[in-house]
Amino acid sequence: RNSKHVPPPAEEVLGKTAVVETPIDPVHNTGRVKVCGESWKATADKPLPAGTECVVEKLDGVTLSVRAK
């Protein structure tokens, strides 16, 4: 049995810089970011337009919470 702990990819993106792919709209709970080559559903406290650099703050299931950089 392999005793090495390999964190799931979700844990690896925490604290990383992401780029908004589709605008994040917290009112309608829509938006996606790209981080570490993967696209994720994302939310933020305020709307973020596509192309905005942001930082991954937390993970809720398969949704990332981000804030503008």
| pLDDT, mean of residues 39-66 | 96
Query: Higher-confidence residue: 66 or 62?
Result: 66
* pLDDT for the residue numbered 11: 77
Q: How many CB atoms lie within 10 A of CB 10?
A: 14
C-alpha closest to that of 56 among 16, 29, 24: 16
Question: How confident is the model over 6-23, as pLDDT tens digits?
Answer: 555 677 899 999 999 999
What is the residue whose two structure tokens read 């829509």?
30
Render pLDDT for 21-48 as a digit per residue (tens, 0 to 9).
999 999 999 999 999 899 999 999 999 9
Query: What pTM value is reported for the model?
Result: 0.83
